[in-house]
Amino acid sequence: MTNDSGQLTNWQVIAASVMGTSHEKRSQPCQDAHQWRLLPNGVLAAAVADGAGSATLAEVGAKIAVEAAVETICQQQKMLPQTDDEWYVFLTATLQVARAAVEAEAAVREVASRDLACTLIAVVATPELIAVAQIGDGAAVAGDSAGNAIALTIPPCGEYINETIFLISPNAVETAQFQVHREKMAHLAVFSDGLQMLALKIPEGTPHGPFFAPLFRFSREFKDEVEAKQQLESFLRSPRVSERTDDDLTLLLASFSS
């Protein structure tokens, strides 16, 4: 696969966001968003966000958050961190830029920041490691060459089932999850909370292997990106999924071949 600069990379990526059945019934927009870019030297920058159901401009906040996060990573691609501490600083700055972008949009629209509330998962994946920062629910899961699924982050378990923290929440960046997984991984999945009950064993957050195995295989083997995205969207809208969740759904899949 080549990126938008025409350079060869070793990541194969497919992603989709679809409206949940509850949003369809209420004529609400899809409040999830995703963004990804392939960079030189086998680097993938990706982000997934889930707008708060109670926020009137949630879909705007989610879109701005993922775009700001990926753009920030891309701007620093020539100086990626080496140590875990440097990754913490790098990812913290990425979250702060995304938060500032959402707050700036709220100011332009003359609304409260909470009207653009969303979660955010930002990922940098290289041939050698996967670094993740997460605010709120959803999760990132890696897969090894044998097909084993490994949790990189887990959804925070609050006192109430629908309780979560958002990018604009007080201390959101300071209390974010950070993970640097230093191992060559064959697969990556990043998803919003609509898929949590299918993809993870809750509350421990352990990945459900039978859910990920066919998805990792699909992300490694697809040939046509347009057709693959349609197939992924069809899966997310399928009865297997929609009978278990009525929320908006986002799933980003990436497979690496050396």
What range does the domain containing 151 cover? 11-256
Rounded Cα gap, residues 18 and 154, in angstroms: 22
* Res 9 pLDDT > 90: no
In a domain, 179, yes or no: yes
CA distances from 4 to 38, 75, 210 (A): 8, 15, 34
The pLDDT value recorded for residue 8 is 42
The pLDDT value recorded for residue 251 is 98
CATH, residue 163: 3.60.40.10
pTM: 0.93
In a domain, 2, yes or no: no
Residue 132 tokens, joined: 């993740």
The pLDDT value recorded for residue 146 is 87
In a domain, 5, yes or no: no
Closest to 28 in 3D by CA, of 55, 67, 64: 55
The pLDDT value recorded for residue 189 is 98
Please tell me the total count of domains within the chain. Answer: 1
In a domain, 121, yes or no: yes
pLDDT tens string 100-140: 999 999 999 999 999 999 999 999 999 899 999 999 999 99
In a domain, 3, yes or no: no
Closest to 169 in 3D by CA, of 39, 55, 257, 250: 55
In a domain, 4, yes or no: no
In a domain, 94, yes or no: yes
Rounded Cα gap, residues 64 and 41, in angstroms: 26
In a domain, 158, yes or no: yes
The arithmetic mean of pLDDT across residues 209-238, rounded, is 95
pLDDT tens string 232-258: 999 999 999 999 998 999 999 999 986
- Report helix, strand or coil for 209: helix
Degrees, nearest 5: CA angle 169-207-50? 30
* Res 2 pLDDT > 80: no
